[in-house]
Amino acid sequence: MDGNEKQREVYIGLGSNMGDRDSNLQEAINLINNILGVQVKDLSSIYLTEPWGNENQDDFLNQVILIGTNLEASELLEALKKIEIKMGRQRTENWGPRIIDLDILLYGDDIVDFRDLKIPHPYAQQRLFVLIPLQEINPDIIFPDSGMGIREVLIRALEREDVKKIKRID
């Protein structure tokens, strides 16, 4: 990686519902900040949220961070997966309990459509635990796939009947 590569602003969603959830989030942020070519620029508050998908599990703590990076999206995904594994994440079921979950939500204004990586994250515009912290960090976000601003997307999400509870805890 050389200094001529484009620095992108990337939003990453973090979630934990096993063990010491607060410490898990902080450890993940520290490990992300230690990735070569990555700098954590901003953090949202932490939110307590009901589980998505499989509801028979403990509530999550969720947070969004903004990073600056020169890494390609696939390189960043690989680094995040390594952090999940290092922290003890085991992928045994979809939407199941996890020590840490790290999702690339937005990667600059890019749209990425690989088999194992879709950006913007496919469920980002439906989940309050993503939208509320995203808006907290940057109320001017535009989703590159839909062209909609974060406020409009958030209002649409709030109008749905199946909205999960979310509570800011810090």
Q: Does 58 participate in catalysis according to the annotation?
A: no
Q: What is the residue type of 145?
A: D
**Residue 124, helix vs strand vs coil:** helix
C-alpha distances out from residue 162 to 72, 115, 120, Å: 35, 28, 22
Q: Which of 89, 113, 116, 140 is catalytic?
A: 89
Q: Which of 42, 103, 151, 156 is catalytic?
A: 103
Cα–Cα distance for residue pair 103/32, rounded to 1 Å: 12
Closest C-alpha to 39, from 83, 84, 9, 16? 9
Q: Is residue 79 within 8 Å of residue 73, measured between CB atoms? A: no
Q: Which of 101, 113, 115, 170 is catalytic?
A: 101
Q: Does 20 participate in catalysis according to the annotation?
A: no
Q: Is the dihedral of CA 91, 38, 76, 42 positive or negative?
A: positive
Q: Does 101 participate in catalysis according to the annotation?
A: yes
Q: Which of 2, 42, 91, 98 is catalytic?
A: 98
Q: Does 22 participate in catalysis according to the annotation?
A: no
How many Cβ atoms from other residues are within 10 Å of residue 65's Cβ?
23
The continuous run of DSSP H or E covering 60 comes out as: strand 60-69
Annotated catalytic residues are 89, 98, 101, 103
